[in-house]
Amino acid sequence: SRSSAASDVYKRQPLVYLLFVCFFPQLIAGPIVHHRQVVPQFHRIGQRYEQRLLAPAGALIVLGLAKKVLVADNLALLATPGYTSEAIGQLAALDAWVCMLAYTLQLYFDYSGYCDIALGLALLFGIRLPVNFLSPLKAGNIIEFWRRWHMTLSGFLRDYVYIPLGGNRKGRTRRGLNLMITMLVGGLWHGAGWNFVLWGGLHGFFLLINHGFHRVFPAGRGAVRASLGRVITFLAVAVAFVYFRAPSLEVGNHLLAALPGDLSGGFSSYYLGQIDSSFQFELLGLATDALGAAAFTLLLLLLALGVAQLAPNALEIVNSEKVGFEGVLPASRLHFSPNLWWSLFLAMTLWLVVLSLTRVSPFLYFQF
């Protein structure tokens, strides 16, 4: 009867809400999920579970682990020496550039890997979480960057901060003020520190410049403009991330002050000593002296930068199996398929990940 059906819904609703709250408790790390995005999926699971999702879900998890363990954690060894109080006054220009770029790429692969794992784990249960990370370092401007980086946080700030403040409905001056307030709130979202406030303020400033540039020079096509926009955006993001990572404004200021120096001077003895003691090459059989560490440093940095800028992301690759993210992701020439070759590749990758699990290294967003 209708009354019994209503009673059944009433009894089940608290359990559904509890499942929604417990399904993905890491709010800051994301994806920040609205109940309307997943609760209807909970009801559909009991009706039909898609076993074909197991293979792409497993691929996402393995690729995400590889990004975190094999790439991000090694990039951390390159970045960390520049973000300590001992580094003040010690860094050469090349040290500063490597530390800045290494942390930008570390955070990129760490968070990208985390998002892949999160979506893969949800997909194991037949749940499709919203896409939260879409190759942001390929963005051609800072506006596009925020449409690709922590996309659910961007949507949250837009819906609950920017629009309630008036959005762009009250003129350009008010829009600029609303953007700046929104980005400052976004900085405080990550932590109550002046470094996060400054990071948010810098991105607010970048957005204001970006909007002003588009007003004076309307968007146009062209390979030169697109490439230049990508380079400028990447450097702006990297500079802002210096304060995101630095334990104090003083450390961040000294690292940025070292950037304009002479790159031909090479690495400083301080930085060579730090990375020489950090890297261990027993597994690969490579040299562990300072020269070998420096060469490996530059090689790893260039490879990571090339992958971030040119390669398709894991979601684009796995989505070739029509797992439910169509319309959000661009097409990729590299397609995942549950065949022998992909199985061997993923098994080898997982083996390398397991061999590399020699230290505790939490996801960066879990630290905020």
List Cα–Cα distances, 281 to 109, 184, 233, 284, 292, in angstroms: 21, 42, 34, 5, 10
Q: With contact defined as beta carbons under 8 Å apart, do 46 and 329 qualify?
A: no
DSSP character string of 249-303 = HHHHHHHHHHTTS-GGG---HHHHHHHHHH---TTTT---SHHHHHHHHHHHHHH
What angle, 0 to 180 degrees and rounded to 10, lies between the N-to-C axes of helices 54-66 and 340-355? 40
**Nearest by Cα to 145 from 241, 19, 5:** 241
Q: In angstroms, rounded to a whole number, what is the distance separating the alpha carbons of residues 217 and 147?
A: 21
DSSP state of 203: H
DSSP state of 217: S
**Nearest by Cα to 366 from 115, 58, 19:** 115
Residues with a catalytic annotation lie at 190
Question: Any idea which residue has 């999702």 for tokens?
Answer: 53
Q: How many helices (H) and strands (E) does the chain have?
A: 15, 0
Copy the structure tokens of residue 231.
Answer: 């380079």
